[in-house]
């Protein structure tokens, strides 16, 4: 099993107003462990953001998902301590949605474990 650290799976990915995948863990990997994660609101108004960590086969409606709800102030950078250390299996994903605008971006990196 090969281990690769400092893998960037989301480098300023814009969070959409429609729920969508920020990153999906490739099926050739065993898992991905989040080492650092942050989100930035570069706009001039508060934004409401929801972030979901889903394992393979999970859905947003599933009660077993992990979710983070945030109110990001204008110009705020928030370190997502809630996600750091989480492990996502192959086929799992990180998804997010913002209430409005195009000014919220997310950054995530960590360690990738090959099968």
Q: What is the pTM of this model?
A: 0.92
* Tens digits of residue pLDDT in 84-115: 999 999 999 999 999 999 999 999 999 999 98
Does residue 62 register a pLDDT over 80? no
5-10's contacts with Cβ under 8 Å and 24+ in sequence apart are 5/35, 5/110, 5/111, 5/112, 6/35, 6/109, 6/111, 7/32, 7/109, 7/110, 7/111, 7/112, 8/107, 8/108, 8/109, 9/94, 9/108, 9/109, 9/110, 10/94, 10/106, 10/107, 10/108, 10/109
Percent residues over pLDDT 90 in the chain: 88
What CATH code is assigned to 3-114?
Answer: 2.60.120
Tell me the pLDDT band of 39, cut-offs 50, 70 and 90.
very high
Domain ranges for the chain:
3-114
């Amino acid at each position: 099993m090969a281990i690769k650290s400092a893998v960037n799976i989301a480098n300023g990915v814009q969070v959409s107003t429609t729920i969508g995948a920020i990153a999906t863990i490739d099926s050739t990997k065993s898992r991905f462990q989040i080492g650092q994660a942050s989100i930035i609101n570069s706009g001039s108004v508060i934004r409401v953001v929801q972030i979901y960590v889903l394992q393979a086969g999970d859905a947003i409606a599933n009660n077993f998902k992990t979710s983070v709800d945030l109110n990001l102030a204008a110009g705020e950078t928030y370190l997502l301590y809630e996600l750091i250390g989480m492990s996502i299996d192959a086929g799992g994903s990180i998804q997010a949605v913002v209430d409005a605008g195009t000014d919220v971006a997310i950054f995530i990196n960590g360690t990738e474990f090959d099968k």
